[in-house]
Chain A
Amino acid sequence: MAERSNMPLIEVENLGVRLNTSRGPAQAVRGVSFALKRGETLGLVGESGCGKSVTALSLMGLLPDSAVVTGSIKLEGDELVGLADADYCRLRGNRISMIFQEPMTALNPMHTIGNQVAEPLRRHKKFSAAQARKEAIALLDRVGLPDPARRVDAYPHQFSGGQRQRITIAMALACEPDLLIADEPTTALDVTIQGQILDLIADLVEERGMSMILISHDLGVIAENVQRMMVMYGGTVVESGPTDEVFRRMGHPYTQGLFRARPKLGARKGTRLKTISGTVPELADLPSGCTFSDRCPLVIDQCRAALPPMVDVGPGHLARCIRTDVSMAERVGALTA
């Protein structure tokens, strides 16, 4: 057995998730593998419905009861797939925490924010009410909530969206988790607040030596906040690698499409945004072979025959494409921008 220090904090192997959707069973995630060391940060990028949130929820063990999870998720060597809910409860909010997209609805409107932040402390660390309250105030102070000693007894509706997201961050950090999963933490916030919240998360991750999985559809957010990234499409990882490496030279036509589709400053007035033609396929009827084949400009018959393997396209940089010779001939990435 590998030494504890070399063992990845979280190791996901060939993860598959089958969900019961309104259109019948669908393979929402398939063949997702990655490992994350302590202190490392990983970004998951993709459009809505690509499986990034389902991947995150399967790490949390919070998928609906009807979901079927296959493959393996190991937290410091301990298998999490198939873990009893009572055992999972000891990990959630304690060793793995999650921040959600919608701060307006993520807090219980009937409980004071102090109680909600104190809840994981009382539960996992067996703090007394007074201890937990004191710690909650300290946490609220750390996440930058003004006047926390006075506002600890206020209710969620008395705070703005940005403040509420700070409160959910305080809640997620309460027990100093090893892994923080942030699922689109700034998507619902004003642009001016987004940067502040991302900076706060980055500071806290650094300060506490946590690992983080940051989920976003925004390439800019990913580029600035994580060391490694995975691009997901149709439930599979289509490209992965060190963030700098991927942005330097993108390998997969889908990643390139996402990159080209972002709005650019200084573009001439009247210039249309580049888009990826077609729409995200329903998970219930994905094309055979490469999941992106229906929308890919470089598609050939062979793409539809079987799901392409991940191929090496650079140091630690993999792309699930059989035409990287063509796609990467035209350099797309920060180098050309």
Chain B
Amino acid sequence: MSVFVLRRLLTLLATLVGASLIIFLVLDALPGNAAQMLMGADASPDAVRALTIKLGLDQPLAVRYVQWIKGLAVGDLGNSYVYGTPVGSLIAERLVLTIPLAIMAMTITVTLALAAGIYTAANHNRLGDVGVMSLTQVGIALPNFWFAILLVLLFSVRLQWLSAGGFAGWEDGIWPGIKSLLLPAISLAVVQAAILARVTRSAVLEVLREDFVRTARAKGLGKREVLWSHVLRNAMIPVMTVMGLQFANLLAGTIVIENVFYLPGLGRLIFQSIANRDLIVVRNCVMLLAAMVVIVNFVVDVLYAFIDPRIKVHDL
């Protein structure tokens, strides 16, 4: 087990180094000089040059890369070109929204999807199965921002239960924060839950055809007991793979929903920084997202080994 984890950790580190190189090189190759952008088009060349030196942009590529990595290692991400404040605290401000939002959306996704997936598989080809599967088809077809607007119309405009946008923060306790993230989380969860429910259903159906299910029935277990004690654990591997991808996606790809609800999340920070050529913020945000995706995948890999005893032996 420990060897398995160690190997996966090494892969994780190697992936992060590769990602950092690509991010650094691509952003460096982008046209547009940060100093020029900051000073405006009318700035004198001397002033621009002075700022370039002040920002350290005149140094060779390799030196700047090493400086960045050293900074990452000690948690010093440098200062934003635009705001002048530390990038670390800029990102941290956004993460207190993005991470709880992702967790809430994922919780809703998993709850809905597992319930629907298991229910439909257990009632394969019956009315309930067809009904729920048609619903998931609709769910997949829904654009989430459109669904978000419908939710706002219903819960904010008509019923006035929840606010239409903005983030209350966590200063006044947990509840106001959760309340302001509820509609965004539901909008994000619905489409994902539809996909995950279908994955769950097909995974469960596949396992239900296995010989050991018949063996378990031959031992006297009822259909439901077989489902819970023998089938689900076997069906979890493909389900968890998709769950991992979805969670990574929730951390990185929620910009549209953030815009609909006017939430100051990580997606909006990246979007604004790109518009402002605040490349140092962009670089660190993208690196953070890459790291989160890699870490989520690592966690999923380790969970595989927990679920499936065969992985410890075969994947060494």
Contact = CB atoms under 8 A, between A and B. Distances in A.
16 contacts: A60-B218, A62-B214, A62-B218, A91-B220, A92-B219, A93-B219, A94-B220, A105-B212, A106-B215, A107-B215, A109-B234, A119-B216, A124-B220, A155-B309, A155-B310, A172-B218
Nearest to B218: A98
A106 B219 CA distance: 12
A207 interface: no
Given A60-B218, A120-B219, 6 more contacts: A93-B220, A93-B221, A108-B234, A109-B212, A110-B307, A158-B313
Between B219, B222, B230, B233, the greatest number of chain A beta carbons within 10 A of the residue's beta carbon is seen for B219
B42 interface: no
Interface string B193-234: 000000000000000001110111111111100000010011
A155 B305 CA distance: 13
A82 B155 CA distance: 52
Interface of A: 60, 62, 85-86, 89-94, 97-98, 100, 102, 105-111, 119-120, 123-124, 155, 157-158, 168, 171-172
A158 to B, nearest CB: 8
B303 to A, nearest CB: 13
B226 to A, nearest CB: 10
Between A86, A108, A109, the greatest number of chain B beta carbons within 10 A of the residue's beta carbon is seen for A108
B310 A86 contact: no
B212 A108 contact: yes
Contacts of A86: 222
A131 to B, nearest CB: 17
B45 to A, nearest CB: 68
B210 to A, nearest CB: 6
Nearest to B230: A108
A106 B309 contact: no
Contact of A109 (B218, B221, B222, B308): B308
Nearest to A174: B219
A60 B219 CA distance: 10
A321 B14 CA distance: 75
B220 A109 contact: no
A92 B220 contact: yes
A89 B233 CA distance: 22
Q: How large is the interface on B (under 10, 10 to 19, 20 to 34, 35 or more residues)?
A: 20 to 34
Contacts of B307: 110
Given A62-B214, A92-B217, A108-B234, A157 B222 contact: no
Contacts of A89: 220-222
Contacts of B313: 157-158
What is the interface of chain B mostly: helix, strand, loop, or mixed? helix
B9 to A, nearest CB: 25
A309 B310 CA distance: 54
Given A111-B230, A157-B310, A157-B313, A106 B220 contact: no
What is the interface of chain A mostly: helix, strand, loop, or mixed? helix
B215 A110 contact: no
B207 to A, nearest CB: 10
B211 A106 contact: yes
Contacts of A111: 230
Contacts of A123: 219-221
A119 B219 contact: yes
Contacts of B216: 108, 119
B97 to A, nearest CB: 38
> Which 5 residue pairs are nearest across A and B when measured between Cβ atoms?
A93-B219, A93-B220, A105-B211, A92-B220, A155-B309
A100 B210 CA distance: 13
Given A85-B222, A86-B222, A89-B222, A109 B217 contact: no
B217 A107 contact: no
Given A105-B211, A157-B310, A157-B313, A110 B220 contact: no
A18 to B, nearest CB: 19
B233 A110 contact: yes
Contacts of A91: 220
Contacts of A60: 218
Interface string B55-97: 0000000000000000000000000000000000000000000
Contacts of B308: 109-110
B204 to A, nearest CB: 14
Contacts of A157: 309-310, 313
A94 B215 CA distance: 13
Given A109-B309, A109-B310, A110-B307, A85 B223 contact: yes
Nearest to B308: A110
B100 to A, nearest CB: 33
Interface in B157-214: 210-212, 214
B180 to A, nearest CB: 41
Contacts of A119: 216, 219, 221
B245 to A, nearest CB: 23
Interface in B220-256: 220-223, 230, 233-234
B197 to A, nearest CB: 22
A110 B219 contact: no
Contacts of B234: 108-110
Given A110-B234, A155-B310, A120 B215 contact: no
A172 B220 CA distance: 11
A28 to B, nearest CB: 17
Contacts of A94: 220
A107 B212 contact: yes
A102 B218 contact: no
A21 to B, nearest CB: 16
Contacts of A62: 214, 217-218
